[in-house]
Amino acid sequence: MYFKKMILISLCLANVAMAQTKLYTEQFRPQFHFSPATNWCNDPNGLVYNNGTYHLFYQHNPFGNVWGHMTWAHATSKDLIHWKHQPIAIPEENGVMIFSGTCVVDKNNTSGFGKDGTIPMVAVYTGHIENVNQSQCIAYSLDDGITWTKYANNPVLDIHKKDFRDPKIFWHAQKKYWVMALVLSVEHMVQFYSSPNLKDWKHLSNFGPVGDTSGVWECPDLTQVPVEGIPGKKKWLLQTSQNASMQYFVGEFDGVSFKNENKTTAILRPDYGPDYYAAIAYNQLPATVLPTAIGWVNNWNYANDIPTTPWKSAMSLPRNLSVKKINNNWILMQKPVPAVNALRKQLITLSTEVVAANKLLPVKSTQFEMELSIEPASTSICGIKLAKAGDDYFEIGYDAAKQLFYVDRSKTGNISFNENFKKLTRFEKSIALKNKKLQLHIYFDNSIVEIFVNDGEAVFTAQIFPEENNSAIELFSTGGKSQFSGINFREMKSAW
């Protein structure tokens, strides 16, 4: 009965989303990032490709616009940009919340869930009993993810701990078994398990503690990615989330254990901004599609309080993943999926500008894509201000003397809704110029800014909540004349 009730609620929400377009016209509503029609969402879950369709499951509260009643909601897409809301997939039930995990298409029916030639989709998730236990459970679908049945003998992996969660599952072709990566959160450790059938799991190895151990580890993701510039060569990328940030490691995985090939002292992040978390990569993509990840755009330090209604939180642009050796470390390279280009409006190419103070550009918008190259004066602090009106703006800058790239949202209108948000306003990273220039690729989507620096060598994602009509764009340079060139600007259509 509970399951049917949840399905009915979800269908109603989906119908409302389709029928009342006003749901996707609210102030701050992103137009080319996925967001639920109504209510809370957090981690992306169960990213899997099947029969020409991309599936996005995600943590969702069907009953409110704050965290609670964790349930898997579901959306589908043909291109990772235009999404269709589907019924609730896996509901909270009998005191067990449905925490994060992943999905696979069990093509060989190793689980035995398939019937009459139907290939099952299998979800592996953490069953969470508040302050008592976390264990790994499975559910299966025989209709391409629309309806789900929880396995009668759940949990399939239980070591009787309160913090043991977020399974990432994939098929290891060489070993001919399923691999599960999940975390012992408090111990800052990723554990690897194997299974022939998704039901019976054997411990293989541990990785960690290492890197950033400042917060509990969550949401591990292990996926193989190409090496840029070397056709056919691949590395394994292991990502973890902790508190309100992420980190990654690059190396080799032999089906049993992961070996990090980066410096043990290096803390490398897939995103250096405040609002990118719990990212995982798609399972079972076609060979012609690059590895692709999606992250949650929010921050646990203020997530419940961001001033959006009737929804809360969104997903990042899907990002293609690869790695490249830079300064003796394997560096994650990320680019937005090409499908987002279909939303581009008319290209406006602006003239090269040499700026010694401030220069307003002849375009205004809070929903656009922009590319530009900056050649900073050696003693300058220079960059670009978005959502500008008077003394309000979001600042993207580069300190040339320190070789430091930064974002600063301390002057972006509403920052007082949460004390942590007021404190978490500036984020920075050392980034070297390339041929004396800094390349920026910026997406601004009403309340979300994603900045890809130097062809994706670093990414910064931040939420901002400017006053209505704050939409001017300004170049700036202090301490010397900086040159801005290759300025390409396009407003973006809504994906909704």
Which residues are identified as catalytic?
43
Taking the CA atoms of residue 492, residue 366, residue 39 and residue 217 in that order, the dihedral angle to the nearest 10 degrees is: 90
- The answer to whether the beta carbons of residues 187 and 129 sit under 8 Å apart is no
- Is the bond into 209 cis (omega within 30 degrees of 0)? yes
CA-to-CA dists, residue 332 to 125, 224, 343, 411, 471, angstroms: 27, 12, 26, 31, 32
List strands edge to edge, sheet with 217-226: 217-226, 234-242, 245-253, 258-260
Reported in sequence order, the residue ranges of 17-66 that DSSP labels E, i.e. its strands, are 39-50, 53-60
Look at the alpha carbons of 15, 493, 383, 403 in this order and tell me if their dihedral is positive or negative. positive
**How many Å apart are CA 86 and CA 471, to the nearest integer?**
34
Q: Can you tell me whether residue 152 is helix, strand or coil? A: coil
Rg for the chain, CA atoms, rounded:
22
**4-39: b or e for each residue (b if 16 or more CB lie within 10 Å)?**
eebbebbeebbeebeeeeebbeeebbbbbbbbbbbb
Beta strands 177-184; 189-195: pairing state: antiparallel
Collapsed DSSP state (helix, strand, coil) of residue 249: strand
Helix (H) or strand (E) holding 225: strand 217-226
Q: With H, G, I as helix, E, B as strand and everything else as coil, classify residue 251.
A: strand
